[in-house]
Amino acid sequence: MSFFAIGSVSCQVADSTTISNAEFKKISADKHVVILDVRTADEFKDGHIPTATNIDVLETDAFNKYIATLPKDKTYLLYCRSGKRSAKALAVMKDNGFANVKHLQNGFSGWDGAVEK
């Protein structure tokens, strides 16, 4: 009689929607990519990634109305302070039919690129 022990193997699969600074910079070099800063207006005024448009994901109605006006076939790069709000915004956009949405790992607090005020 033989028997096989099957152990539980845990492996973390990389989330393809969460991207590094290097990937964010590379993708955002395409002039057709839309960068959305989903932080508050005050956070945005304190500094943001160049060419980003500010729309606060915590203002749910305004955020939903805004994304309803966006073309769904474009590539969207999202960020917030740490990655939590941009992950929420990404989920909302995916639920609304946006196919190509990614967000910045560690958010603006981990950003090492150009900053505009």
Report pLDDT digits (tens) over 34-51. Answer: 999 999 999 999 999 999
- The total of other beta-carbon atoms located within 10 Å of residue 55's CB is 20
Residue 16: the pLDDT is 82
The answer to whether residue 117 sits within a structural domain is: no
Token pair 């939590």 is found at 84
Q: Which residues contact 9 (CB under 8 A, 6 or more apart)?
A: none
- Closest of 69, 59, 61, 60 to residue 98, by C-alpha: 69
The pLDDT tens digits for 8-20 are 333 333 468 999 9
Instruction: Give catalytic residues, as residue numbers.
Output: 80
pLDDT digits (tens, 9 = 90+) for 72-81: 999 999 999 9
Residue 11 covered by a domain? no
CATH code, domain with 35: 3.40.250.10
The total of structural domains in the chain comes to 1
Determine the structural domain holding residue 72 and report its residue range: 18-110
